[in-house]
Amino acid sequence: MLKKCMADPSLIIPTEDICIKDSLSYEEILVQILDHQVRKLRTKEVASVKVLWRNQFVEEATWEVEEDMKNRYPHLFES
């Protein structure tokens, strides 16, 4: 049985602010690196960084491989 859905207008994001392309995709822009972490596996260690993206909250920050972020955003790792 279907129920009526009551839309919440506060959750609607204007598409002009996000810059959506014709293919209905958009590129996230890195805002800040929040944390560094090295995870130990059985045979190697993997360095990760916690990344805050534009259009996301701090709670939604993601862990990314540090080497990939250095290749994509070298200006953030210069020092």
Banded pLDDT at 18 (limits 50, 70, 90): low
The answer, yes or no, to whether residue 1 has pLDDT greater than 80, is no
Residue 50, pLDDT score: 94
Banded pLDDT at 2 (limits 50, 70, 90): confident
CATH code of 75's domain:
2.40.50
Domain count, the chain: 1
**Does residue 26 belong to any structural domain of this protein?**
no
**Does residue 45 belong to any structural domain of this protein?**
yes
**Does residue 17 belong to any structural domain of this protein?**
no
**Does residue 73 belong to any structural domain of this protein?**
yes
| 64: enclosing H helix or E strand | strand 62-65
**Does residue 8 belong to any structural domain of this protein?**
no
Range of the domain at 67: 31-79
Residue for token digits 């990939």? 68
> What is the chain's length?
79
Q: Which of 42, 75, 18, 38 is nearest to 50 (CA)?
A: 38
Residue 15, pLDDT score: 64
Count of other CB atoms within 10 angstroms of residue 17? 9
Geometric angle at alpha carbon 52, from 54 and 60, rounded to 5° = 95
